Amino acid sequence: MYNLVVFASGNGSTLQAIIDAIHNKILNSKIVLVVSNNPDAFALERAKKAGIPTYIIKNKNYQDIDNELYEVLSHYDINLIVLAGYLKLIGDKLLSNYTIINTHPSLLPKYGGKGMHGMHVHKAVIDAKEKQSGVTVHFINNEYDKGNIISQTVVDVLETDTPETLASKVQAAEKIQLVNVIKKFETGEL
């Protein structure tokens, strides 16, 4: 069994896509823990409904979070950590002990960096009248959205698109792409 830990700060629709892919046997993984820095994240409800243990981060500072999570995660057998709408930097202890990937809703390096997440990204893309946006799944390092890129999917931006319609197209592509990438980790292709 390939063991995943998913970090999620918000709605958790990306987490849900992983849960569904496991349920539908597209993935042969198990989510052993869902971690969140936000006690009100709907992602936590989704995890509980799926019978997955959850952990809410106590600390605020990223070094303290690193120490806290290093201890918590040491109790689990983990193959891969997936950041699915998790908005904090990851510290050195986790970086040096785990393989960690993130999904970002733009074609990095465009529209990445601190503060660039979720609807902020889609609004910036629409404001800049881009013709294309998309999804990037990448390895995590100690800077926002700067780790090596694993794969990207392009999504066309129509003149009629709003940040909301673009978000929904990008998120649909993102769920497929992220599951495909996790599958490649599972099978050893990555």
Q: Of 36, 103, 133, 177, which one interacts with ligand GAR (CB under 6 A)?
A: 103
> Whole-angstrom Cα distance, residue 129 to residue 172?
21
Instruction: Assess 133 for contact with ligand GAR (CB under 6 A).
Output: no
Q: Of 20, 70, 78, 118, which one interacts with ligand GAR (CB under 6 A)?
A: 118
Q: Of 10, 91, 134, 147, which one interacts with ligand GAR (CB under 6 A)?
A: 10
The closest alpha carbon to 118, from 56, 178, 181, 170, belongs to 170
Strands (E) across the chain are located at 2-7, 29-36, 54-56, 80-83, 100-104, 132-139, 149-156
Q: Of 117, 125, 155, 157, which one interacts with ligand GAR (CB under 6 A)?
A: 117
Is 23 in the active site? no
Site for ligand GAR in 34-93 (CB under 6 A): 84-85
Place of tokens 């986790």: 94
Beta bridge partners of 155: 133
Tell me which of 75, 104, 122, 138 is the catalytic residue.
104
Site for ligand GAR in 144-183 (CB under 6 A): 171, 174
CA angle 133, 136, 137 (to 5 degrees): 165
Interface with ligand GAR (CB under 6 A): 8, 10-15, 84-85, 103-105, 117-118, 121, 171, 174
Please give the positions annotated as active site: 104
